[in-house]
Amino acid sequence: MKFDWGFKTYVMGIVNATPDSFSGDGIMSVKEAVERGQRMAAEGADILDIGGESTRPGSEPISLEEELDRVIPVIQGLSQSVDIPLSIDTYKAEVARQAVVAGATIINDVWAGRREPEILKVVGETGAHIVLMHNRSNESEESQNEKLGGRYVHVEYAELLTDIKKELQDAVDAGLAAGIKKENIILDPGIGFGKTVEQNLEIVRRLAELKELGLPILVGPSRKSFVGYTLDLPPEDRLEGTLAAVTLCIERGADIVRVHEVSQVSRAVRFTDAVVRKK
């Protein structure tokens, strides 16, 4: 798929093929995951992002075999039943490789190639798109709340956006060196990954500064803890906060929004685009 950056905001629907998603929408059945993806496509999703391993604070890693068992059948099922791009949410090179064979055309790596650098070669060889996300997650800086879930505390940056831009540019340089075409790279500031509530709010406030890197931007504010802690609400009650974050991010230059509630967000996106996008 050729993306028309700048003329519309793309809605990426989240399909969690895992039982322990922070947002409470995790599922185990391949049939349920495929049906959820089909429903999201019907509701207006432009992209579906399939993930098999939770990235919430405090989550347990799973084996390569288990992740493949969770996601590959879902990608195969969706590739045969929907006509929109599929993304695989993984940092594992072999999962990415098999996902592309199964029908995925985007690799969404929350570690931007730092966990398994081989994934950058996979992207370069297959011609897939890649989302490179900024991530400073560290278990020692995690805090849990029974109602609101996990968040990061006491995370230090010399200067938040300057540091994020530098580390994303380093990831871009590594991707280019591995053979990835620049036009296939998408950047994600990593809302919720190694940032405090206040730092996440600052990312939304200053998102436009990331446009200086000259690449499309994906943001994932949906149901995140910074919304919950700001509003004192659990994940299932964060739709309004998510909509506000999505709208603000689009106004500040976001090209893709990664969300759980596709139907509601798609309406907000269409209206926001009517105001801020040049036709």
- Would 3 be classed as within a structural domain? no
Supply the range of the domain harboring residue 73.
10-273
Q: Please indicate whether residue 224 is annotated as part of the active site.
A: yes
- Would 67 be classed as within a structural domain? yes
223, 224, 238, 252: which is the annotated catalytic residue?
Answer: 224
- Would 200 be classed as within a structural domain? yes
Q: In the chain, where do the E strands start and end?
A: 10-16, 47-51, 86-89, 106-109, 129-133, 142-145, 149-152, 185-188, 218-219, 256-259
- Would 161 be classed as within a structural domain? yes
- Would 5 be classed as within a structural domain? no
Structure tokens at 106: 């985007």
Whole-number Å distance between alpha carbons of 201 and 163: 16
Q: Please write the tens of the pLDDT for every residue from 177-198.
A: 999 999 999 999 999 999 999 9
- Would 195 be classed as within a structural domain? yes
Q: Please write the tens of the pLDDT for every residue from 206-227.
A: 999 999 999 999 999 999 999 9
B/e letters for 120-130, b = 16+ CB within 10 Å, e = fewer, are: bbbbbebebbb
Residue 20: pLDDT over 90: no
Please state the domain count of the chain.
1
The DSSP bridge pattern shows strands 149-152 and 142-145 to be antiparallel
Q: Please indicate whether residue 258 is annotated as part of the active site.
A: yes
**Looking at residue 117, which CATH number applies to its domain?**
3.20.20.20
Higher-confidence position of 254 and 17: 254
pTM of the model as a whole: 0.93
- Would 269 be classed as within a structural domain? yes
- Would 163 be classed as within a structural domain? yes
What confidence category does residue 279 fall into, taking pLDDT thresholds of 50, 70 and 90? low
